[in-house]
Amino acid sequence: MTEEQKKAESAARLNRKHRQKQREREAALAQKEYAENKLKRLARKRELGRIRAARYRERLKDKKFKNSTMALETFMAHDASFMASLSTQYSERIKKLSSFVDSCHRKGFPVVLLTSGGTTVPLESRTIRFIDNFSSGRRGSASAEHFLEQGYAVIFLYRHKTLKPFDRHLANKSALDVLELSGKSVKIKYEYEELCKINIEKKEKALQSNMLHFCEFTSVLDYLTLLRVSSMQLRSLGGPINLSLQLVPKLLKPLVKDWIPDAYIISFKLETDANLLIPKAQKALETYNHKLVVGNILDTRTEVVWLVTKDATPQEVRVDSKNPVEIESLIVSKLVKLHHEYLQAKDSA
């Protein structure tokens, strides 16, 4: 290799090294610029969050918005103030509920108040967006049927369009799936006749004997109002009642302490982690001081639950695979037994 070739080769190597370093510098600059832009985007998001929070606080100060959403303190107020704050839209429902409770009291029926279905919270006064806690109401509607079988009268406080007792057995069918043409008339298809007959008879019997009262809600405001009114009506019975709830946890404290302190109050807890279920149920009992938590895991909620109380080991309730039944029938049987024991202990105290 000649001297000139050596010089050319050396120059080429230097040039390659220079280009490599240039590429590395450009990559480092690009990475730095990307990181800076990412930080700027995060800062903008935080700023937007602060702006939105400030706007939300301002809207809370607005009198019309406060009136439309009704602050929670209204529901904590004493009965006279609360009743005075209710609009006329609830007057008819309150009258029917009061009549139902009076009838149960005269006949000596124990009463269970069941709340069923999720709740929705509007994010603005003229609602377009909302937060929804979805629930089909399957467990609540099934439990209502089994409480009726046990001789309890049921106030069924349920969300609009969720499952109801007896109707739930055809929940996956539309009316057109169940009906068929017969000449010029319409009749129930043969395969659904027995199912419809049984549940129509049970529902009519419960309604005619005034053992079942439907109370529908559409929003959290509706739910809170009807729950508060129901609690007031039940407290007027003068004796212990059974109250089974799936509700906003913060309401358990006034429910237990102020609204119906003598009731046997039950809450439900659904978890995805089995290791957290019992500790969280026990924590809820300590915090809210109610009687029992029905705990279940999302994936096995139709197969096994745990009944958690303050003073006893959590009790497992499991469906026998050899004799499958609705788990709600087992839950209700256990709850009725515990409720009777509670009443006996209260009478002997």
pLDDT at residue 62, rounded to an integer: 55
Report the alpha-carbon distance of residue 113 to residue 265 in Å, rounded. 10
- Residue 299 and residue 275 in contact, taking contact as beta carbons nearer than 8 Å: no
Cβ burial of 128 (10 Å; 0-12, 13-18, 19+) is exposed
Rounded to 5 degrees, φ, ψ at 216 are -95, 140
Rounded to 5 degrees, φ, ψ at 31 are -65, -40
Question: Taking the complete model, does pTM exceed 0.85, yes or no?
Answer: no
pLDDT at residue 68, rounded to an integer: 45
116 three-state secondary structure? strand
pLDDT at residue 299, rounded to an integer: 92
pLDDT at residue 328, rounded to an integer: 96
Q: What is the DSSP letter of 313?
A: P
11 three-state secondary structure? helix
Low-confidence ranges of the chain (pLDDT < 70): 1, 57-87, 120-134, 236-250, 349
Q: Where are the domains of the chain?
A: 3-61, 95-348
Q: Which of 255, 256, 259, 279 is nearest to 269 (CA)?
A: 279
Report the alpha-carbon distance of residue 27 to residue 130 in Å, rounded. 45
Report the alpha-carbon distance of residue 319 to residue 100 in Å, rounded. 34
Instruction: Give the HSE-up count for residue 245: Cα atoms under 13 Å, Cβ half-sphere.
Output: 28
The neighbouring-strand residues paired with 121 are 131
Task: Specify the CATH number for 95-348; select among 3.40.190.10, 3.40.47.40, 3.60.20.10, 3.40.50.10300.
Answer: 3.40.50.10300
